[in-house]
Amino acid sequence: MELKAGMTTQIMDTTDARFEIDVAHSMSPVLLYFWAPWSEPCGAIDPLLDSVARHHAGPLKIVRVNVDEHEAIVKRFDIHRIPTVLFFDKGELRTTLVAPSAARLQVLIEDRFGSGMPWNTARADELCASSALAFHGQAARKRICLKRLRDSVFSADRPPSDCAAGGAGYFVEEVGVPGILGDMIDTLWRLTCATESLAYARARTIALFEAIPLGADLTDIAPAVVYELLHDQRWGLVRYVPEGSAHEIFARLAVLHARELVGTRIDNRAWTELARDAIALADGHRLRQPEDLATPRDLQPILIEQMEHVTRPLAQLDLDMLLQIVLSLTYARDQPRFWTDEDERKTRLMADAAMREVERQFGLKPADDDIRTVRRWRRQVRTLIEKLEAAQTTVDPTTGVRLEIWKSHRDALAAELYCAVCELMVSRFDHTPKTVVFH
């Protein structure tokens, strides 16, 4: 039995040869988890599955399938997306969850095994806590961190937070800032690189570090930024919430998040009930409006589908995910000014063709720890997609022109949002109480 680093021994890897024994003929209920080591979404639910395996070690088995290694099982269940979780009872498939949120997985377990598991105890305090005040209140330490930044070349495997700290794993110790805040700055740098010049992204990132005040306890900064991304009326997710049940759920979420910001402990049952209501809303909406009847620019199904992903404590919400949700809704709002349904259909067909050709020529993305191979794979994919887009533009130049105009506007919207988040972060820095500063 092969185990993933950090996982409990209750999670086992099956193989093509052992599948019948491990799953099909098992008299215990089984969660069959399709994953790959390079998949970030899989990494997001791994800790939850680890907790489930430890808490329900007797009545439930969790079995994993590496999709890169066991093609027969993948084909048997027609798996096209990971993570996918299948629930079996006495060898019979009962439930299929494709790319499930943590909340949806929690509800599945509770429905079958009860609500005794302590769901959201998961590390809200750890995620935001720092071991010291910013730069330990030492001006000399801040100068050292900034010099490291200015002397470094940022990259995917050496992001700004690692550069400031002098290496991976030292950020909290060296900078005295919560790790989640370092992750946020890294995310903003990476996303800004996609819409602005590398020099601009680098300069703005260094400016964020420069704005971190000496001797400040920045524990509350990351939750406050996430709160604004959800509940701010100017550019938060709340702008797109429709009236009715969705609005009521989001209002309850805002109350819980506001209580979190002032340090109130929230009963786990409140989060579970909220997530359950968000999931029920999404499932009901999906039944009333099948996917093939919804237009790609319809904001309501986009928002309702995403609500189950945000009905969680602030410290457990990912900035990258929230930015993508806000942007997807902003794009859907603006797209009709530039793009027709027929344009969207053509573009989707082209994207589907591109992904099929990518998989045919280059296979799936290599493991992240094989940095050299990943870079080569990305270059090859990017080159192929550019060729396909150029071919499409040659065949249909009018659509190509509109696509370029829409892409330019979309990049401007993204850049505006990233800039707003940076400004919010700096504003929070400015209003954070400082302690004694040592020179």
pLDDT for 4 = 45
Kindly state the average pLDDT of the residues 47-65.
79
Q: Which of 417, 45, 101 is nearest to 228 (CA)?
A: 417
Instruction: Say if residue 298's pLDDT is above 70.
Output: no
Distance CA 145, CA 14 (A): 46
- Run of H or E including 89: strand 84-89
Domains and CATH numbers, the chain: 11-101 (3.40.30.10), 126-219+418-430 (no CATH), 221-337 (no CATH)
Q: Which residue has the tokens 């429709």?
A: 242
Q: Which single residue is written with the structure tokens 């949002």?
A: 417
The first and second tokens of residue 89, run together, are 């009872």
- Predicted confidence band of residue 341 (pLDDT cuts 50, 70, 90): confident
User: What pairing do the DSSP bridges indicate for beta strands 11-13 and 30-35?
Assistant: unpaired
Phi, psi for 171 (deg, rounded to 5): -60, -55
pLDDT at 9 over 70: no
pLDDT in the model for residue 117: 54
DSSP state of 263: T
358-361 long-range contacts, Cβ below 8 Å, gap at least 24?
Answer: 358/384, 358/385
* 3-state class (DSSP) for residue 66: strand
What's the CA gap between 332 and 431, in Å, rounded?
Answer: 35
SS3 state of residue 425 = helix
Q: How confident is the model at residue 431 (pLDDT cuts 50, 70, 90)?
A: confident
Distance, first Cα to last Cα, the chain: 55
Where is average pLDDT lowest: 42-56, 131-145, 383-397, 404-418?
Answer: 383-397
pLDDT mean over 16-39: 86
More confident residue, 397 or 430: 430
Give buried/exposed letters for 139-168 (b at 16+ CB in 10 A, else e): eebbeebbebbeebebeeeebbbbbbbeee
Average pLDDT, the chain: 81
| Two tokens, residue 10 | 């209750």
**Any idea which of 133-147, 295-309, 320-334 has the lowest mean pLDDT?**
295-309
Report pLDDT for 225.
93
Q: Higher confidence at residue 126 or residue 211?
A: 211
- Least Cα distance to 242 among 304, 295, 294, 296 occurs for 304
Dihedral class, residue 289 (left if φ above 0, else alpha if ψ from -120 to 50, else beta): beta
Pairing of strands 92-98, 84-89: antiparallel
Give the per-residue pLDDT at 116.
Answer: 57
Confidence of residue 5 (pLDDT cuts 50, 70, 90): very low
pTM of the model: 0.73
Q: How far apart are CA 214 and CA 234, in angstroms?
A: 30
Backbone angles phi, psi at 169, to 5 degrees: 90, 5
Nearest to 149 by CA among 209, 218, 191: 209
More confident residue, 176 or 358: 176
Average pLDDT over residues 264-271: 85
Q: Phi and psi of 216, rounded to 5°?
A: -95, 145
Strand order in the sheet with 92-98: 11-13, 61-66, 30-35, 84-89, 92-98
Q: What is the CA radius of gyration of the chain?
A: 23
According to DSSP, the residues that pair with 434 across neighbouring strands are 216
Q: Which of 233-237, 247-251, 299-303, 339-343 has the highest mean pLDDT?
A: 247-251
At residue 370, the 3 state secondary structure works out as coil
Does the structure show a pLDDT above 70 at 438? no
Compute CA 72 distance to the chain's CA centroid, rounded to the nearest angstrom.
29
Confidence of residue 250 (pLDDT cuts 50, 70, 90): very high
Beta carbons of 99 and 42 less than 8 angstroms apart: no
392 or 261, higher pLDDT:
261
Averaged pLDDT for residues 132-137: 86
